[in-house]
Structure 1
Amino acid sequence: MTSTKNRSGLVPMTIGEIISSVADGEKSPVRIEAYDGSSFGPEDCPLVIRIVSEEAVQQFVAAPGDLGLARAYLTGSIEIVRGVHPAAPHDVFGALEILRKKMAHKPDLATTLRILRSVGIKAINPNVPIPHMEIVAPWRRALSGAGRHTKERDSKAVSYHYDVSNKFYEWVLGPSMTYTCACYPTADATLEEAQENKYRLVFDKLGLSEGDRLLDVGCGWGGMVRYAARRGVRVIGVTLSKEQASWAQAAIAEEGLGDLAEVRLQDYRDVPEGEFDAISSIGITEHIGAENYAAYFAKLRSMLKPGGLLLNHCITRPENTRTTKAGAFIDRYIFPDGELAGAATVQLEAENTGFETVHGENLRPHYAFTLREWCKNLEAHWDEAVEEVGMPMAKLWGLYMGACQYAFETNVVQLHQILLVNLDAEKGKPWDVPLRQWWKA
């Protein structure tokens, strides 16, 4: 494609030239081929992305970073033309993340002006329609005046993500219906073995035995609830997802665990019972909001017996200085109002309410393995998933899980389990947990 000067005297740039102006093509993990006939990246790249329309450029300019990339992929203005199945876009997103975060550099002023002239005034103030992906917007607008993490808003946010379709989640998560990080006993263990091992680890860390009482907050489809009940523990699980509660109660009935286990559609803040021997919190802290950590831990502590244990399992940041807000893509399309803090921040807030830390560990590689298997499951059931939830939603979940796999592999995020004990209110009471770690890793 031959470039000609425009009225400003600046030579317009091709799409390939624009990308080359901000990235090193020799190190590119992808080859990009654009609708104007230009390209970027080595010819022998196993992964090729095609920019098929001007809309993609407008989306990148309108929302630089992960949101623009996501929108372009979801609306079909960029396509995967070889090297990876569209249902498993981990390789694509990972490569684009490398391109965006590690290779990109800011162009000089003259190049910036040429880019703006080349993409046109529409790209500076674009109005790019995303008709089928702004599905979260209606409830956001309805609650725009409400503060983050009110009970009503939390319920809406959780419902948006988890009430997609139980059948869809069965295909993605597998038989365990567990939507949290597994714990792999060996690198070659199956996903189901690793999820069972995770529940075993939580159960053992909490020192549970037959006849004990357990509260599982944010219980999902009831995996931990049923695991504990099978071992004679009396369990209450709470979730804000109607679909999860319905599925979990049916699974409890099917296993004949109704005398020991119950899953409620209830906010953890509204649980009236107390004096639990232990509490498991697996994957709920991400939805709480950092400003609410103190109230959250105080509420859980108030429901524990003196000496009772709390296992908090949550996604964390690798440091404690950045904002806790999620990225634009995750916040808009995946986990509305989700927040992540560093493990030290989570632990500090728990200790400030009176908990004492017994143990902590980082399971980051395990979550990368877990997400790898979820991506494989989605790819294996791609046609059924598209029929169940539609192409946009299936692509959205594939992109999100692929992005998260990349994030855990590269230490963008981590997964921490923190074991806490509710100190006896009476001062001077002796330490009443074993002196050394009592569970098998």
Structure 2
Amino acid sequence: MTTFKDSAPAGADPHTWKMSLSEIFETLLGGNLSIRISAYDGSSAGPADAQYGLNLKTPRGTTYLVTAPGDLGLARAYIAGDLELVGAHPGDPYPALKALASDLDFHRPSPLALAQIARSLGIEHFKPIAPPPQEAVPRWRRFAEGLRHSKARDAEVIHYHYDVSNAFYEWVLGPSMTYTCAVYPDHDASLETAQDNKYRLIFEKLRLKPGDRLLDIGCGWGGMVRYAAKRGVHAIGATLSAEQAEWAQKAIVDEGLTDLAEVRHSDYRDITESGFDAVSSIGLTEHIGVSNYPAYFGFMRDKLRPGGMLLNHCITRPDNASRSRAGSFIDRYVFPDGELTGSGKIISKLQDIGGMEVIHEENFREHYAMTLRDWNANLVEHWDEAVAEVGEGTARLWGLYMAGCRIGFNRNIIQLHHVLATKLDDHGGHQVPLRPWWNA
């Protein structure tokens, strides 16, 4: 049983004795550390021969940790360079983060120990300071951009996350410029092979053929649009990111696809065309907001012809009861206003709008962990260029975010689901085969 330091050592004056920073960490984490903790006050805790460690380098880092306990404070200190994960590259801190996560079983010390921690730290560390510049403002301050999930506010959120730098995304995502979960045909497949396989799978699930019309909402850099156009499908994509639309349109021209493909810098809700044979949404649902699902799915239904196909690809929770809003770190640094829910709720919301029948769903949780692994590897390979392009703080943020999400997928904290549906005709019938027709 661990004994926590809630009183002064023998012989020490209890009125003047202070805990070291490493003792505070050890107390809060419950002891029995598997990583090595060191701090700028010269103290350390945990196994001396530990492969990975956490090094608190500055008093500012202490203030970040104290004023925002949990993942937000850790992220602030790490992104600002005040906290170091020892033993791992900042472009891929997954091994060290995984080891740290095994120790993050926060212990609730006694009131006496909490008082001693506060006295040891000093009042100056309890005064909030400005966060790193990469951090978005909190939810309550975002109303300047409009109500939650209004067109104006959604545009600002997408600009924040996606208009970082096309060059940066090229280094991280690779030639496919695809920022969604890949589908690996086997464990040894490359990222590019897996991304191409994902588009192939979606294309087949949607039963697309030459001459058909596809609408891809939240199309990113136009990967699905261009894949379909190369196979004779007339495809329109919509993205709220100006940089994505510019990159995608250039790729369409360069690949000779202008007669079949178009990517618009547009809110998907402003697409006026209808009668599409298929609608795909690959990685957009996370930005929609659960309360807006009826309008979101209703929009896609109304864009389809009877018998048309819909595929929704999005990150999900492993249950349908958890709160939908993202945690503080994700909301401030990655996807402001993002929301996740379970695949069951997505299916029920799609069914409830009427006129659609869900015919298949599947989970690609392990595939997303592998995708993130490969993105982290790309960031490590291009670390110097990435830092020169976006700054070290932003590069560290992306390394941390991708590694943290990888842990989430590996531990089944989050999942990735495809939900496939078809639009029924006026008599409630559909035109799909009796059994799945695609190559899994």
* Matches of 1:154 and 1:97, distance apart in 2: 32
Question: Which of 62, 72, 77 matches 2:77?
Answer: 72
Which 4+ stretches in 1 moved above 4 angstroms?
2-8, 138-142
Deviation at 1:147, TM superposition (A): 1.3
Report the equivalent of 2:285: 285
Question: CA 1:131–1:433 in structure 2 vs 1: closer, same or farther (change >3 Å)?
Answer: closer
Give the AA of the match of 2:434: L
Specify the SS of the correspondent of 1:412. Answer: coil
Q: Please state whether the residue corresponding to 1:263 is helix, strand or coil.
A: strand
CA distance in 2 between counterparts of 1:274 and 1:133 reads 39
TM-score (norm 2): 0.94
The aligned counterpart of 2:103 is 99
1:56 equivalent in structure 2: 61
The answer as to 2:421 corresponding to 1:420 is yes
Provide the C-alpha distance between the structure 2 equivalents of 1:219 and 1:268, rounded to a whole number of angstroms.
9
Structure 2's unaligned 5+ residue stretches are 1-7
Partner of 2:51: 46
Partner of 1:143: helix, strand, or coil?
helix
User: CA offsets per residue over residues 154-198 of structure 1, 9 Å max, x none?
Assistant: 001001111111011000000000000000000110000000000
CA shift, 1:405, in A, is 1.0
Q: TM-score, normalised by structure 1?
A: 0.94
Q: State the shift of 1:141 in Å.
A: 4.4
Q: What is the rounded CA distance, in whole Å, between the counterparts of 1:13 and 1:394 in structure 2? A: 34
Question: How many residues end up aligned between the 2 structures?
Answer: 432
* 2:5 alignment partner in structure 1: none
SS in 1 for 2:231: coil
Partners of 1:148 and 1:430 in 2: how far apart?
A: 37
Identity of aligned residues (%): 54
Secondary structure of the 2:120 match is helix
For residue 87 of structure 1, what is the amino acid of its counterpart?
A: G
Matched AA of 1:437: P
Corresponding residue number in structure 1 for 2:118: 116
Counterpart secondary structure, 2:313: strand
Q: 1:435 aligned to 2:434? A: yes
Match of 1:308 in 2: 308
Question: C-alpha distance in 2, partners of 1:5/1:392?
Answer: 45
Q: How do 1:23-422 and structure 2 match up within 5 A?
A: 23-26=29-32, 28-81=33-86, 83-100=87-104, 103-123=105-125, 125-134=126-135, 136-137=136-137, 141=141, 143-144=143-144, 146-354=146-354, 355-422=356-423
**RMSD of aligned C-alpha atoms?**
2.0
Could you tell me whether the CA contact under 8 Å between 1:319 and 1:342 is conserved in 2?
Answer: yes
Distance 1:243 1:433, change over 3 A: same
Question: Could you tell me whether the CA contact under 8 Å between 1:325 and 1:338 is conserved in 2?
Answer: yes
What corresponds to 1:20 in structure 2?
26
CA distance in 1, matches of 2:271, 2:145: 27
Find the residue that maps to 2:28 and give its secondary structure. Answer: coil
Q: CA, structure 1 residues 92+266, in 2 after alignment: closer, same or farther (shift >3 Å)?
A: same
Equivalent-residue separation in structure 1 for 2:72 and 2:303 (angstroms):
40
> Which amino acid in 2 is paired with 1:438?
W
